[in-house]
Amino acid sequence: MKQRIYVKTQELEDFTIDILRNSGLNETDSRITASVLLSADRRGIESHGVARLKRYVDGIKSGIIRLTPDVKTIKETPVSLVIDGDGGMGQPIAYNAMKKCIKKAESSMMCFASIRNSNHYGIAGYYSLMALESDMIGVSLTNSAPLVVPTFAKDAVVGTNPISIGIPAEKQKPFLLDMATSTVPRGKLEVFSRKEEPMPDSWATDEKGIPTEDSLKVLDNLLNRKGGGLLPLGGGGEMTGGHKGYGLGAIVDIFSGVLSSGAFGKDVYGKKGQPPEVAHFVGVINPEAFMGTDEIKKNMDAYIEMLKGAKKAEGQERIYVAGEKEYIADENNSEKLSIQSKVFDILNGLGEEFNLKLEGE
Amino acid sequence: MKQRIYVKTQELEDFTIDILRNSGLNETDSRITASVLLSADRRGIESHGVARLKRYVDGIKSGIIRLTPDVKTIKETPVSLVIDGDGGMGQPIAYNAMKKCIKKAESSMMCFASIRNSNHYGIAGYYSLMALESDMIGVSLTNSAPLVVPTFAKDAVVGTNPISIGIPAEKQKPFLLDMATSTVPRGKLEVFSRKEEPMPDSWATDEKGIPTEDSLKVLDNLLNRKGGGLLPLGGGGEMTGGHKGYGLGAIVDIFSGVLSSGAFGKDVYGKKGQPPEVAHFVGVINPEAFMGTDEIKKNMDAYIEMLKGAKKAEGQERIYVAGEKEYIADENNSEKLSIQSKVFDILNGLGEEFNLKLEGE
């Protein structure tokens, strides 16, 4: 049996929109959500692509994701927004907040939205990309299910809390950082457990809080909340900088959940029996606030060229800058892309109910 | 011979002010610079404390640090500043920029300054601390001498580029992240080379760009610019997340050097035969832009208590949050503190010229 199946990119997007619409989401929000999912698949971040669609549909069915949320702006200044997502789909909530920030920053030079009471919003990088399309600097952070252990702890009380920052360039592709603040996401442990290979000991701890190479054990512990979890960027303890990744993950939690008085830390799983709550922080800086769009884009070209032109380490053929691999993948996947046959089957399983069929080869 | 000598904290600060003033720096700037240096020593970050004083005095003597710079605001909006430091002392330049940002953000809700053509500004955390004293969120970034190799490179073209972010709390001490974006600073390699112990291989590469445990070799290579250097947070390659630390270091360079059209990357050592140029990015967010100062400070208490209350890993007695160890050190060192006898001697060497003497025990 084939491991991967090719599908036409546009057909996959249309199919995703149809599934969401048939699940009760309105047309506009279905299009936004599908765009975020497809962007992940195109950019090679499969864990956040259409492989997530079933989880969203299940979330809608169970009521965790509300179809007609009363999204409210709780507070607004020329440079900031606090938004309550009322348990709606994360993608349209964050998308609309970012749109407002871009609009406001045209005159106010910067704007950031701290968003509470939302759901999973897909890849953080999507919202920074929106800023880049308007020649602005984009920032996108979100908290997430508590899978990461603080330095010296054995409880996973912090999310993989990603940081994405994008800066436009002129001739070069924009610089686009999009990184979890854990050393690796949970998906990497799944890959190693399937291969039955020991993983690096900077990835996760066992149920006692001790770094381990046994990925299967960690996955089981996380599933059954037995203790332990993923390690922050830098690994266990302080010797290799694990406290730095822990600090960065906390910053994401603070900007998202603390500034909005939303959920943070363990409460992202749900406060006192309530459904899960996710918080985001998205926004933009207009380069006109500093040396100006044209000049900064030229400076970025020079900076990126300097990095890429550095002498290579022995055995290496290329130095990348943040986002470059994803831009290459995005272009390669514009017409068609491959998804796991397991995911292909799940998607067609979802489609059956609505007489929707995804073609593949 | 004693390794460390105790001095009175206030006397050390007064001595530092006197040395700077006698070296030609004006009273105000001498006080600011001494305050930044003492803050580092008090907080246990000796590498950035009075141990640096000789380098500053030498910089003044050689003209690299200009005593009467014509510091100019190149651009200003309600939420931003671009400042040209004209080669002056980094501490007063960054201090004054931060003061302006705090003042502006009282009404404009946030303000960030991108600063070019400055010099070493001490610990990044000092400027975030200034924000905390005004109940604001502080951000402080700076680029620095190129000692760090991008992922897959063998040239050190990026600085250890620290990130500091501070968020006020109510009953708890503020959260204060202050971290180099390399796994460790150069000083850690010096400690290991003195101990003649192998260092973790996530700290640095040899002259071919291959991770090494030989700290002495790396230090020699850096000094003689033979290739190799410190590794970004996450270590070598991508398996343990080194590309993330590299990306974060680049963000610091971009916000500091690119947004201000200052020096970045290799040019921090000096563009085409010119003196070194450092760029910073400092600023604040007024919590009133989001859910408000009182509410956010209460949320921070809850967040910090959640982190510190997590179950501890086997063998661990305490979970810290960012900045906590430094606050403890700061309190312990308020009356007197110990410095290396080597540093004590260097300081008194500097004092001789001006008939200044530092007493110690």
Region A3-21: what's the mean pLDDT?
A: 97
Query: Coil, helix or strand for B6?
Result: strand
Mean pLDDT, residues B221-239: 95
- Point out the residue among A154, A264, A310 whose CB comes nearest to the CB of B312: A154
Structure confidence by residue, pLDDT tens digits, B116-133: 999 999 999 999 999 999
Question: What pLDDT shows up at residue B191?
Answer: 87
| Residue from B106, B181, B259 whose CB has the most chain A CBs within 10 Å, to mutate | B259
The fold of A4-183+231-291+328-352 is: Ribosomal Protein S8; Chain: A, domain 1 (3.30.1370)
Min Cα distance A140 → chain B (Å) is 14
Instruction: State the helix-helix crossing angle for B341-352 and B53-62, rounded to 10 degrees.
Output: 30
The string of pLDDT tens digits covering residues A316-326 is: 999 999 999 99
CB contact under 8 A, A155 and B109: no
Distances (CA, A) of B317 to A219, B173, B311: 26, 19, 10
Q: How many CB atoms lie within 10 A of CB A273?
A: 5
Helix, strand or coil, per DSSP, at residue A330:
helix
Per-residue pLDDT band for B84 (boundaries 50, 70, 90) equals: very high
Q: Given CB atoms, is A320 within the 8 Å cutoff of chain B?
A: yes
Q: Is B244 on the interface with A (CB under 8 A)?
A: yes
3-class DSSP state of A138: strand
Is A306 in the B-facing interface, judged by CB distances under 8 Å? yes
pLDDT digit string, tens, across residues B261-304:
999 999 998 877 788 899 999 999 999 999 999 999 999 999 99
- The phi and psi torsions of A327 (rounded to 5 degrees) equal -65, -40
The per-residue b/e assignment along A186-207, b for 16 or more CB within 10 angstroms, e otherwise, is bebbeebbeeeeebbbbbbbbb
Confidence label for B1 from pLDDT (cuts 50, 70 and 90): low
Q: Which of A227, A240, A290 lies at the smallest CB-CB distance from B80?
A: A290
Over residues A334-351, the mean pLDDT reads 96
Give the 3-state secondary structure of residue B89: coil
May I ask the CATH class of domain A185-230? alpha beta
Confidence band for B2, pLDDT divided at 50, 70 and 90: confident
Residue A1 has pLDDT above 70, yes or no: no
DSSP secondary structure letters along A229-262: EEPBTT-STTTTSHHHHHHHHHHHHIIIIITTT-
Domain residue limits, chain A: 4-183+231-291+328-352, 185-230
CA atoms A99, A104, A108, A112: torsion sign: negative
Q: Give the per-residue pLDDT at B195.
A: 87
Identify the sign of the CA torsion A270, A274, A276, A277: negative
Give the CA count within 13 Å in the CB-facing half-sphere of B229.
Answer: 30
Report chain A's mean pLDDT, rounded to a whole number.
96
Nearest to A157 among B78, B149, B306 (CB): B306
Compute chain B's Rg from CA coordinates. Answer: 20
Q: How far is A93 from chain B (nearest CA, A)?
A: 17
Confidence class for position A74, pLDDT limits 50, 70, 90: very high
Angle, alpha carbons B123-B128-B132 (nearest 5°) = 140
Quick: pLDDT tens for B182-192. Answer: 999 998 998 89
Average pLDDT over residues A95-110: 98
Q: What average pLDDT does the segment B160-183 reach?
A: 98
Which helix (DSSP H) or strand (DSSP E) does residue A306 occupy?
helix A293-308
> Which pLDDT does position B202 carry in this prediction?
96
Over the stretch A105-142, which tens digit does the pLDDT of each residue have? 999 999 999 999 999 999 999 999 999 999 999 999 99
CB contact under 8 A, A299 and B258: yes
List all residues of chain B from 65 to 84 with a beta carbon under 8 Å from chain A: 74-75, 77-80, 82
pLDDT one-digit tens code per residue, B19-60? 999 999 999 999 999 999 999 999 999 989 999 999 999 999
> What is residue A271's predicted lDDT score, i.e. its pLDDT?
79
- The answer, for B21 touching chain A at a CB cutoff of 8 Å, is no
A272 touches chain B (CB under 8 A): no
Q: What percent of chain A has pLDDT over 90?
A: 94
Cα Dmax for chain B: 56
Q: Give the percent of chain A with pLDDT over 70.
A: 100
- Two structure tokens written together for B282: 């400092």
Six-digit token string for A343: 């995911």
When mean pLDDT is compared across A245-249, B90-94, B267-271, the lowest value belongs to B267-271
Provide mean pLDDT across the span A48-64. Answer: 95
Q: Judging by DSSP bridges, how do beta strands B336-340 and B4-8 pair with one another?
A: antiparallel
